[in-house]
Structure 1
Amino acid sequence: MQSPEQADQRVRQAMQRVLLATLPGALVLFGLYGWGVLINLLLCSITALLSEAVALRLRARAIQPALKDGSALVSATLLGLALPPYAPWWLAVFASAGALLAGKHLYGGIGRNPFNPAMLGYALALVSFPQPMTHWPASHGLDLLGGLQQVFGLRLPGQPDAWAQATALDSLRINKSLTMEELFASNDAFGRWGGKGTEWVNLAFLAGGLYLLKQKVFSWHAPVGMLASLFLISLLCWNGSGSDSHGSPLFHLLSGATLLGAFFIVTEPVSGPTSARARLLFGTGVGLLTYIIRTWGSYPDGVAFAVLLMNLAVPALERWSQPRVERSTS
Structure 2
Amino acid sequence: MMSTPLIRLAPTLASRNRQQLLALLPAIAIQLWQLGPQALLALLLATATALLADSLGLAWRRQAIWPSLRQGDALLSAVLLSLLLPATPLPLLCICTGAAILLLRQLFGGSGSLFHPVAGGLLLAAPWLPASLPHANLPLTLALLAGGLWLLWRGLLRWHAPLGLLLVVLIALPVGSGWLLGQSALWLLAGWVMSDGSSTPITSRGRLIHGQAAGMLCISVVTLTTHPDAGVTLAACLLLLSASAPLLDSLTLSPGRRT
Aligned to 1:161: none
Is 1:202 the equivalent of 2:141? yes
**In 1, distance between residues paired with 2:255 and 2:109?**
32
Matches within 5 A, 1:88-127: 88-111=89-112, 113-126=113-126
Runs of 4+ in 1 over 6 A off after TM superposition: none
Aligned to 2:222: 294
Give the TM-score, by structure 1 length. Answer: 0.70
**In 2, distance between residues paired with 1:98 and 1:266?**
20
C-alpha displacement of 1:9 = 4.9
2:206 to 250, 257, 278: 278
Matches within 5 A, 1:167-186: 167-168=133-134
1:307 to 238, 241, 250: 238
Matches within 5 A, 1:73-88: 73-85=75-87, 87-88=88-89
Deviations 1:98-122 (A, max 9, x none): 11100111112112x1211111111
**In 1, distance between residues paired with 2:174 and 2:212?**
15
Is 1:134 the equivalent of 2:134? no
C-alpha displacement of 1:290 = 2.0
**In 1, distance between residues paired with 2:76 and 2:115?**
15
Look at both structures and tell me which one has the larger radius of gyration over its CA atoms.
1
C-alpha change, 1:63 and 1:83, in structure 2 (3 Å) is same
C-alpha displacement of 1:300 = 2.0
Contact 1:203 1:254 in 2 (8 A): no
C-alpha change, 1:200 and 1:236, in structure 2 (3 Å) is same
**In 2, distance between residues paired with 1:219 and 1:304?**
18
C-alpha displacement of 1:292 = 2.0
C-alpha change, 1:30 and 1:295, in structure 2 (3 Å) is farther
Aligned to 2:4: none
Contact 1:230 1:290 in 2 (8 A): no
Q: Which moved more, 1:299-308 or 1:74-83?
A: 299-308
**In 1, distance between residues paired with 2:110 and 2:83?**
23
C-alpha displacement of 1:125 = 2.2
Contact 1:45 1:73 in 2 (8 A): yes
Give the TM-score, by structure 2 length. Answer: 0.88
**In 2, distance between residues paired with 1:95 and 1:50?**
13
1:215 to 154, 163, 176: 154
More helix by share: 2
Q: RCO higher in 1 or 2 (8 Å CA, sep ≥ 6)?
A: 2
**In 2, distance between residues paired with 1:201 and 1:287?**
21
Count of matched residue pairs: 247
The residue matched to 1:102 in structure 2 has which SS? helix
Contact 1:293 1:300 in 2 (8 A): no
Contact 1:22 1:208 in 2 (8 A): yes
